[in-house]
Structure 1
Amino acid sequence: MKTKHLSFFIFSSCIFFTACNTIEANDASEQTTTGSLYEDRVISFVVPFQAGGGTDVFARFMTPYFSEHISGSPRVQVENIPGGGSITGTNEYAQTRKPNGRNILTTSGSSHIPYILGQGSVQYDLSNMTPIIGSPSGGVVYTNPEKASQGVHELVETSGELFYAGMSPTGLDLITLLSFEVLNLDVKAVLGYEGKGPSRVAFEQGESNIDYQTTTAYNRNVVPLVEEGRAVPLYSLGQIDENGDLIRDPQFPDLPTIEELYIELHDEVPTGEAWEAYKQFVGAGFTLQKAVWVHDDAPEAHKQELHSSMISLIEDEQFQAQSEEILENYQPFIGDDLQDRINAMLDVNESTVNWVRQFLLENYDVDVNRL
């Protein structure tokens, strides 16, 4: 009986290990058996925002180029999972989607900032994801002609007369609020608007007198107000270069940065926690405004294929022509350049983060641990 049991065990074990080896062989030879890793496959492109928003438009613009330039021409299917300012969908991607190289995610500054702040509801870890492609955006702060006529020096000395309509202090609005802090502008912020469109309408209706809009929205909706004499740009939020310095936004080369305004006001460069925080979050919110990721533990061959496909994608002349509007004439990041931007975004000084958390608690009664 013992011999029979031992023989059965050996026989069963052989079947088990043969099956395992067959599965591993099938995974390893997937490219050989199907012609390509992605041939006859579907890539699920998770967008943690509702349809029609800026990140959704970005993703749907990218999908046909992904399909065209990824070997095997997979079908790329956008899947919207809105909620929590992008946190709901990003959490779901990180926690439940298989790391098979066929699930990808797009994020925006609204996803990056809560992660950096350690917001309580964040259950994803961007350091455990591999970036595929990223893209900058920008923003412009503007006011009405009456306030602009006073000049920057007078605005700084103004008390209780500046009103800002925003969405959330832990989203992209944080960068604008930090710019007010660096410049020592006394601005009363009314937050909770459903989007930047409603906040712009609040400006047009006189409910606020200082506002910011991202590049596309500014060019499309605010430039006409400027031309009509109903709005005046004050400064761009700027971009962070490869050295970590704030520079003028290439899409708004005539507009100063807050560093330039600060020097004009104080005849010295800005320093301190507010300034360091501002630069950190400009990098996370605007210089890397959009990013597409795959799981870090996805098969290496799939990650390599996705990376190499981005090289031909950004060289596609049709992509370059059509991306002028969607990518706002900013150049996308791929490869080492993208990874450097990611590293800079994630390399956060703990004291800076703690300062921002305290800043939000004291000024906006926001405890990020409870969000």
Structure 2
Amino acid sequence: MKRTIYAFSTSLLLVAGFGPAPQALSSDVDFSGERIEWLVPFREGGGTDTWARFFAPRLSEALPGQPTLIIRNVPGGGSINGANQFDTRGKNNGQEIFGSTASTLFYAMLGDRRASYQPQDWVPVFATPTGGVLYLSSDLGIDSAAELAELGKQELIFPSLGPTSLDLVPLLAMEMLHLNVRPVFGMDRSAGRLAFERGEVNVDYQTSAPYLKNVTPLVEEGSAVPIMSWGVLGEDGSLQRDPSFPDLPHFAEVYEMIHGEAPQGQAFEVWKTFFIAGFAAQKMLFLQEGTPQEIVDTYRKAAIDISAQPDFQEQASVAIGDYDQILGDNVDTAFEMIFSLSEDDTQWIQNWLAENYDVKF
């Protein structure tokens, strides 16, 4: 794994979301009278669709010429159908853009044969991070991460969409913590939370916004116990506490509680790469390969301008989560980190998935 990527320059702050000064734009870039199509590879109403519809009117207003921007939903294959379509048909004139989520990148990183697209060739515009919290049923008798070792071999039943989905991050994390987990596949995050509320499962995680909205009341009533966040990336590439959950230890802290030493080695580096793709830079706006640099610069400046609007952070915290955007050249660094797996690392995670969950590659 190209660990040198984690030596961030001092200007890269994924936590704070600082970006470069706005770039000068070419006078030739003008979308007046044009229609821009934003392809979302999921149905209406999901997290990626909500994110795209939050940014779409703002992006339309921020781009020169204030073009009409429409969302086109192409569901299927957990985002594979839409990503394949964008990869083969997307134009590089700035009038067709694509919104990805964790699963889009996971399939490509894992070498899924259904994913014929090559996202490493696309051009990222900006990325939106999120966090996540793992929580247990209070019936287990555990009050904090420090007591996890007391679970011993007690079975934890975990609702999961599938092992190659975003759930790869918690599944691998829980194995590294030596927890005895039995996943129940075919359940998305919403279904998993409802199963937790019904007492059908006893461990779950949610990303930040649904956790704050839907799980916090369970914590307050005493039926759920928050254990840890996944953390956020510091400017040196290390895990730090999630600012949305500053009282919760992050995954690396919990690992050290259990094992007596900080996590290191191949399993952790692979986990960290998928964590970046799944959480630290979860949703990305892309332009097609070969898009002229002046168009790329125009889009990136528009994203910077949007994020600098006085009411943006307050509105974003309600709609898509209270995290700063990854902007400017910083998004390139985050993107490189995601596609930093070596062939050996890729083979390791494929073997792990095949041996533990019978995933075929």
Query: Does the pair score TM above 0.5?
Result: yes
Verify the 8 A CA contact 1:144 1:209 in the aligned structure 2.
yes
Question: Does 1:186 find its partner at 2:180?
Answer: yes
Q: 1:148 to 1:139 in 2, by over 3 A?
A: farther
Secondary structure of 2:262's match?
A: coil
Q: Structure 2 matches for 1:230-309, cutoff 5 A?
A: 230-309=223-302
Verify the 8 A CA contact 2:153 2:180 in the aligned structure 1.
yes
| Pick aligned residue for 1:166 from 160, 167, 183 | 160
More deviation, 309-318/166-175: 309-318
Aligned residue number for residue 347 of structure 2: 354
1:295 CA drift (Å): 0.8
Supply the distance in 2 between the matched residues of 1:201 and 1:259 (Cα, whole angstroms).
28
Supply the distance in 2 between the matched residues of 1:244 and 1:353 (Cα, whole angstroms).
21
Q: 1:125 to 1:242 in 2, by over 3 A?
A: farther
Q: Deviations over 1:256-283 (max 9, x none)?
A: 1121122122221122332222111111
Supply the distance in 2 between the matched residues of 1:163 and 1:309 (Cα, whole angstroms).
44
Q: Deviations over 1:330-354 (max 9, x none)?
A: 0001111111111111111322221
Supply the distance in 1 between the matched residues of 2:347 and 2:137 (Cα, whole angstroms).
34
Q: Deviations over 1:276-330 (max 9, x none)?
A: 2211111110000110000121233322221222221111123233112223110
Verify the 8 A CA contact 1:131 1:291 in the aligned structure 2.
yes
Supply the distance in 2 between the matched residues of 1:251 and 1:150 (Cα, whole angstroms).
20
Supply the distance in 1 between the matched residues of 2:120 and 2:259 (Cα, whole angstroms).
38
Letter aligned with residue 327 of structure 1: I
Supply the distance in 1 between the matched residues of 2:158 and 2:58 (Cα, whole angstroms).
39
Letter aligned with residue 67 of structure 1: S
More deviation, 353-362/308-317: 308-317
Secondary structure of 1:172's match?
A: coil
Q: Which runs of 5+ in 2 are unaligned?
A: 1-25
Letter aligned with residue 90 of structure 1: A
1:154 CA drift (Å): 5.2
Q: 1:324 to 1:157 in 2, by over 3 A?
A: closer
Alignment RMSD, CA only?
A: 1.7
1:156 CA drift (Å): 6.1
Aligned residue number for residue 364 of structure 1: 357
Verify the 8 A CA contact 2:135 2:228 in the aligned structure 1.
yes
Aligned residue number for residue 17 of structure 1: none
1:254 CA drift (Å): 0.8
Letter aligned with residue 231 of structure 2: G
Secondary structure of 1:335's match?
A: coil
Secondary structure of 1:168's match?
A: coil
Percent identity reads 36
* RCO higher in structure (CA 8 A, sep ≥6): 2
1:149 CA drift (Å): 2.5
Supply the distance in 2 between the matched residues of 1:205 and 1:86 (Cα, whole angstroms).
29
Supply the distance in 2 between the matched residues of 1:283 and 1:132 (Cα, whole angstroms).
16
Supply the distance in 2 between the matched residues of 1:318 and 1:157 (Cα, whole angstroms).
45
Secondary structure of 2:108's match?
A: helix
More deviation, 236-245/180-189: 236-245
Supply the distance in 2 between the matched residues of 1:56 and 1:294 (Cα, whole angstroms).
17
Q: Structure 2 matches for 1:9-88, cutoff 5 A?
A: 37-88=30-81
Supply the distance in 2 between the matched residues of 1:218 and 1:351 (Cα, whole angstroms).
35
Aligned residue number for residue 200 of structure 2: 207
Aligned residue number for residue 323 of structure 1: 316
Verify the 8 A CA contact 2:270 2:341 in the aligned structure 1.
no
Aligned residue number for residue 119 of structure 2: 126
Question: Does 1:144 find its partner at 2:110?
Answer: no
More deviation, 355-364/146-155: 146-155
Supply the distance in 2 between the matched residues of 1:307 and 1:328 (Cα, whole angstroms).
21
Q: Deviations over 1:179-218 (max 9, x none)?
A: 111101111111111x211111111111110000110110
1:155 CA drift (Å): 4.3
Q: Which is richer in helix?
A: 1
Q: How many residues align?
A: 335
Q: Which runs of 5+ in 1 are unaligned?
A: 1-29
Q: Deviations over 1:76-105 (max 9, x none)?
A: 000000111111101100111222211000
Supply the distance in 1 between the matched residues of 2:143 and 2:27 (Cα, whole angstroms).
66
Supply the distance in 1 between the matched residues of 2:116 and 2:311 (Cα, whole angstroms).
38
Aligned residue number for residue 343 of structure 1: 336
Supply the distance in 2 between the matched residues of 1:144 and 1:245 (Cα, whole angstroms).
29
Secondary structure of 2:112's match?
A: coil
TM-score, scaled relative to structure 1: 0.86
Letter aligned with residue 168 of structure 1: G
Q: 1:150 to 1:138 in 2, by over 3 A?
A: closer
Secondary structure of 2:39's match?
A: strand
Secondary structure of 1:120's match?
A: coil
Letter aligned with residue 108 of structure 1: T
Supply the distance in 1 between the matched residues of 2:336 and 2:325 (Cα, whole angstroms).
16
